[in-house]
Structure 1
């Protein structure tokens, strides 16, 4: 049961039946959810790692950086691998590698070994986005593509929400090392099950390989926009729980707030895509511009609002804005590559994931040097830049 690497979008007239499309999209969501449980399970592990190894805020931020440094290093080659061997095989190996490498993190005896293990986690995460994006492009019906990509990306925040709720409880009961092993085992079982039953559309089974990457310069520009977007997202998701703890909020309560932030983002990703399809003619770039402006406003409000007084309210608004743009930027990147959505995603996200590498430690360094308030206002400006650059590049693409 082999699958071709990539295929074009499915038309409503001659595509597979709706139930088949829904089943395949559900499997892609399952892959994205389980992969996110690993990579976005790092923030709820961070307080325990900070206590064990005596880390500063900047040092704690480097934990997420180590993982996404692996993603950055491997994303462009991973996109080409997906293009060559197919979606299903790529996802199978990614799930096994992700679960095993997180479990190995629990064996690390020093901070350096933890960073190395998390780098390996990032390497195995790198095929997930190109593979699942190519799967969505192949199966999504014309007129539903923005929402289909958003639904797939909802798996990211859903997985993060599961980890944010589950990992602190596991740490409290078993310790962080056992928690890492348990989550790794869950991901291997659920992820492999989802990937094994994925198939490509019948119309694509004669396709041997994806077409050449198109619009490379604009894909690079969009990759920089993705960098800024993910810079904001991962600064918030990494440091929000630490900021709450610094204000005296208990770990379990802070973890619950982080879980609520991700749950809010999960619903908002579909909501923004629905708005794009319903009111903006499927214009994902314009929707992202509006979303980025909303993120900037919420982040600016964080400079005068004490999140520790109402962590749930802050989590809802931060999740609905700063964490909600992934489906939009992924669709823009996939479309920019023409006949090679996995390759354009791989190239764009090799730049985009750099935001997760440099963002959390810079945010933490600014907070160590000044205050969290300074960091929030800086993120507000970055959010505006992400939306503006995406809008400009997309207009150039269609000229």
Structure 2
């Protein structure tokens, strides 16, 4: 191969990497924005539908319950239809979900939860499948972390833009406008599909091996312990996102816009954390160790939340939840990179789908258990403190996986 040809090959690879990172980050952002807009507007939606805000937050559990089921086949659907097409399908599901919720009734909210779950169950295996072949191993953590910044970026939009639109035009307009955003992005992906889905197999079965990804994760002990740890970390992350605004409004005494702004700041901390932790994991060559440290920070932050009262200065409340957010929202990119590192060659999509079954299981468990615990305790602050137990369980699992990897 001539030097000029080699140079063109590097350029093509670099161009594809940039394209895939932008694409996957955009899809993650819109999906996260759609899902997290519901808990951000929990008080408004609850008042409109005459239900408790805590139960609106529980809609997130329905979303991730459906996503968990979709993960069983998401690794196979992307093989048949292509990861780009699967991303488009997810965006269309988000659009339909937001349109259904904007109808303003309980049935529409239920339909929205189901459709959001379908969309969210499809995107992570697809985005990891697109990234894995084009990312240099020495940059794996930072690139996967960059892609995963779409989740807190969507949270920032849910915390800032969505409440602002709701105050000005009503919550139904705020939710309904996301349908248009999703459809526009799905349309923008269409010209990219031929180049990005060039590895799809039109004859690949969809339901022939529905448990293939989960079986792979359970069979490999390193992936198994990692996924168990993330079950607990996901429970913490989604509980923080689902109930922070309600806690700040009902127990700390902040207004909806101020509480939404702090949610956005927490998500921004997570956004920065994903880049920082991805860079650090690459620098140290130790993604497991970075995740273990973050579990320790989450444990301490959860315990500190039990001390929060209306008398706390806003700066102190903000500082606590910025620390909480940088840890609880910052680990996902390192986790995805660890899956790509530990998965057998050519099985990153399947391994991601299998690991996400346990990940979404934690998301399903977290907000639901939080709601039940709050019903018994009657205090959001003390219920947040209980998340320290989940952080401890995650740390123990990471240590177990670390010992296996070092053998």
User: TM-score, normalising length from structure 2?
Assistant: 0.86
CA distance in 2, matches of 1:57, 1:386: 28
Match of 2:327 among 321, 325, 344: 321
Unmatched tracts of structure 2, length 5 or more: 1-6, 206-211
390, 395, 403: which one aligns with 1:387: 395
2 CA distance for matches of 1:271 and 1:198?
31
| Distance change (3 Å), C-alpha of 1:332 and 1:142 | closer
State the shift of 1:116 in Å.
3.2
Query: Where does the alignment leave 5 or more consecutive residues of structure 1 unmatched?
Result: 1-11
Deviations 1:112-162 (A, max 9, x none): 541232122111221101001111212212210000000000011101111
**1:301 aligns to what?**
304
239, 248, 251: which one aligns with 2:243: 239
Higher helix share: 2
**Match of residue 66, structure 1, among 62, 82, 91:** 62
The alignment partner of 1:299 has SS state of helix
Aligned residues: 384
Matches of residues 227-376 of structure 1 in structure 2 within 5 Å? 227-246=231-250, 247-278=252-283, 280-281=284-285, 283-306=286-309, 309-310=313-314, 311-338=317-344, 339-370=346-377, 371-376=379-384
Match of 2:230 in 1: 226
1:17 deviates by 4.2
Aligned match of 2:386: 378
Instruction: Report Cα offsets for 1:15-49 as digits up to 9, x if no partner.
Output: 54434422321121111111211122222122212
Q: Decide whether the 8 Å contact of 1:168 with 1:252 is kept in 2.
A: yes
Which of 140, 143, 153 aligns to 2:138? It is 143
Per-residue CA deviations over 1:53-106 (Å, capped at 9, x if unaligned) read 233354233211121121112111112211332211111111112112211111
Which residue, out of 155, 167, 188, partners 2:162?
Answer: 167
Separation in structure 2 between the aligned mates of residue 104 and residue 215 of structure 1, nearest angstrom: 35
Contact between 1:220 and 1:347, CA under 8 Å: does it hold in 2?
no
Which position in structure 1 is the counterpart of 2:208?
none
Describe the superposition over 1:283-313 as per-residue Cα deviations: whole angstroms up to 9, x where unpaired: 2111111111111112222222447632432
Does the Cα contact within 8 Å between 2:65 and 2:364 map onto a contact in 1?
yes
Change in 2 beyond 3 A, CA 1:356/1:150: same
Of 222-231 and 319-328, deviating more is: 222-231
C-alpha change, 1:224 and 1:264, in structure 2 (3 Å) is: same
Distance, in Å, in 2 between the alignment partners of 1:77 and 1:233 is 25
Q: Helix, strand or coil for the counterpart of 1:55? A: coil
Q: Can you list the C-alpha shifts for 1:323-349, whole angstroms capped at 9, x where unaligned? A: 111112222233333121111111111
Cross-structure match for 2:183: 188
| Alpha-carbon distance between aligned partners in 2 of 1:38 and 1:366, rounded to the nearest angstrom | 26
In the TM superposition, residue 225 of structure 1 has moved relative to its aligned partner by: 2.1
Give the secondary-structure state (helix, strand or coil) at the position aligned to 2:138: coil
What is the CA-CA distance between 1:192 and the residue it aligns to?
3.7
Q: CA deviation at 1:196?
A: 4.4
State the shift of 1:361 in Å: 2.5
Preserved CA contact (<8 Å) 1:28 1:194: no
Question: Aligned residue for 2:18?
Answer: 22
Q: CA RMSD in A?
A: 2.7
Equivalent pair of 1:57/1:368 in contact (CA under 8 Å): no
CA–CA distance in structure 2, aligned partners of residues 253 and 373 of structure 1? 18
State the shift of 1:270 in Å: 0.6
Match for residue 7 of structure 1?
Answer: none
